[in-house]
A and B are shown apart, each in its own frame.
Chain A
Amino acid sequence: MALLDVRNLSIDIHGIRPLGGISFSVDKGEILGIVGESGSGKSLTALSVMGLLPLIGGRIERGTITFDGTELTTLPEPAFRRLRGRRIAFITQNPMTSLDPVMRVGAQIDQVARLHLKLDAKAAQARSIEIMEKLRIPEAATLYHHYPHQLSGGMKQRIVIAMALAADPDLIIADEPTTALDVTIQAQIIDLLVELVRDRDLALILITHDMGVVAQTCDRVVVLYAGRIAESHAVQAIFANPRHPYTKALIRCIPREDTVTGSLTGIPGAVPSVAHYPAGCRYHPRCARRGPPCDGIVPALEYPTGGGEIACHFPEGAGDVHV
């Protein structure tokens, strides 16, 4: 069984159901990408796995989340708190605001190790500096004493990653870890994360809206649209042969070398808000391949012979669909 196994997850926030039946799994040494536009439910998925839904007034309605044999949906909060940071770590979107402005960055890394591993101040400091060095932070012993405002965005994100690594977790969930950074720094941070996964045999869930990042890093990818899985497959397969019209549209959005200036494409329309999900396939109002059943019948998630999952009435290369 995989390290983290999410089955048929549905959540309920004050009567609204932004996620309907999501399933995915990720194992050690594996990078899973969760892709979708804003509002597709990526961050809510992460929040569910972290057990933090009650904070925003939500709860898990159906489904199971199994982490290393433990069922998380019924885990009491004190036990969950010992898991958070210790076994499952979370990297937030914006490193600029993810650090406490009045605490030295070193102390912020220390506190995680002290909290979970019960290290004393000296041992925690040595460990933090070691982690900072591994993350290729120059002059780690000096930067350890700096305040966040003295560091650049890329350095701050490394500190945030160091905090996530401080208690030696098994699973890291990174919610758009590079969106707030320059492109060159983005590449460095992504490389760093990939290297960590390979070296430490971590499991990584990378939440992003950037198919380009997915192509470079992930092993598998789940494409979410409006709270449902549109398609999921191994990365090579999905880029070689995207079958869901939405996946195809997302891949078309990646700028390429041969992209003519001024010809960047987007997907017309916007993700519907949770309160106004259309009937049938939720993507059909924006879909070029829509046909009669799309506005009435929800496409079932199918498992084609080539592997992966897809939910579409008219997938590309429909000949080989195996119901």
Chain B
Amino acid sequence: MSLAIDTQTGAGQSFRRSVAGKVLLTPKGGISGCYLICLLLLALLAPWVTPYPYDVQELSIASQAPSLAHWLGTDEFGRDVLSRIMYGARTSLSVSFTAISVSVLVGMTLGAAAGYFGGMFDRFVTAAVDLSWSFPEILIALILVAIIGPGLHSTMLAIGIAYLAQFTRLTRAQILGLKNETFIEATRNLGASHGHIVFRHLMPNALAPVIICGMLATGDAIILEATLGFFGLGAQPPVPSWGAMMSSGTAQIFKAPWIIIFPGLAVAVTVIMINLFGDALIRALDIRAKLREG
């Protein structure tokens, strides 16, 4: 008895450690985790680590091929592509993280309320979710940006709303399964209010699959942000975004291909790494079955 207890002391920390361990100690999770941490650091520290400012134009060195001075070359205005990609990471990551966070928070609340209370509210939410589920996210985002007008904040809002349905649906499905569990009944029997049951017991239990789903959606959101940027609907010049950089590179795709290739690579590699990390997380949390229910 005492032996069993001793080995389990500080259980919470060892639990969390073991999930982090399970993710980072696999090749998939380790590589993607390191990449994402580096990218995050570069984005955060961009003003201090970039070799050149992102917005100073120097037409004398326009469209130069990669060299020692400019590792990834310069664009059509003579700006350093590497520096702009690092700043672009800021835009990309902040837009997709903010959008998905808002989407997760609102979607979880909506889904939990709909699943827990049921009735007319549930029917209304489900109908709205099913309706928006039938359009591609890019279409919803395009329509919303068209209504609100282009810019960073509207991109965040548009992406956030475009992914709302997914989290609402997943959370609702989780809550539907959880709300009839004995421990919910037991909590109710002890006099807990609806709010206490939903926020303290139902939501934490529904969290793991939603986190995974949010992780994978962040990858999609980066592509969506790049797409909107490509159409000139995202961050407005001179703020660099990977989509806008690719868009400006199309004109010189044969003359100076580095202008379009490197931001494109940044998008592709980042999305692949996020997906790999999500995959490792699914395995570590062992929730494949739960994700399928959603």
Q: Using CB atoms and an 8 Å cutoff, list the residues of chain A in contact with chain B.
A: 50, 52, 55, 81-86, 89-90, 92-94, 97-104, 111-112, 115-116, 138-139, 142-143, 145-147, 150, 160, 163-164, 166-167
Contacts and interface: CB of A to CB of B under 8 A. Distances in A.
B201 interface: yes
B84 to A, nearest CB: 43
Contacts of B207: 102
A115 B192 contact: yes
The 5 closest A-B pairs by CB, nearest first: A85-B191, A85-B190, A90-B189, A84-B191, A97-B182
Contacts of A85: 189-192
Contacts of A104: 12
Contact of A115 (B11, B191, B205): B191
Contact of A52 (B183, B188, B193, B196): B188
Nearest to B9: A142
B98 to A, nearest CB: 27
Given A90-B186, A92-B182, A98-B182, A145 B12 contact: yes
Given A97-B182, A99-B183, A145-B11, A92 B189 contact: yes
Given A103-B204, A142-B9, A83 B182 contact: no
Contact of A147 (B9, B11, B182, B186): B11
B130 interface: no
Given A97-B183, A100-B201, A150-B8, A82 B15 contact: no
Contact of A83 (B8, B181, B191): B191
A86 B191 CA distance: 7
Interface residues of B, number: 27
A44 to B, nearest CB: 14
Contacts of B10: 145
Nearest to B208: A102
10 contacts: A81-B191, A89-B190, A97-B182, A97-B183, A98-B182, A101-B205, A103-B204, A111-B192, A139-B2, A145-B10
A50 B192 CA distance: 13
Contacts of A111: 187, 192, 196, 200
A52 B191 contact: no
A62 to B, nearest CB: 24
A90 B185 CA distance: 10
B185 to A, nearest CB: 7
A163 B190 contact: yes
B186 A92 contact: yes
B147 interface: no
A82 B191 contact: yes
Contacts, number: 86
Of B185, B191, B201, most buried by chain A (CB within 10 Å of CB) is B191
A146 B185 contact: no
Given A81-B191, A115-B191, A115-B196, A150 B11 contact: yes
A138 B3 CA distance: 12
A112 B207 CA distance: 23
A55 B193 CA distance: 14
Interface string B1-36: 110010011111001000000000000000000000
B191 A147 contact: no
Contacts of A82: 191
Contacts of A145: 10-12
Interface string B139-166: 0000000000000000000000000000
Contacts of B189: 50, 52, 84-85, 89-90, 92
A103 B197 CA distance: 13
Contacts of A146: 8, 11
Given A102-B205, A103-B201, A142-B5, A94 B182 contact: yes
B182 A100 contact: no
Contacts of A167: 190-191
A52 B193 CA distance: 13
Contact of B1 (A90, A138, A147, A163): A138
A17 B257 CA distance: 79
A111 B201 CA distance: 11
B238 to A, nearest CB: 47
Given A90-B190, A104-B12, A147-B15, A97 B196 contact: no
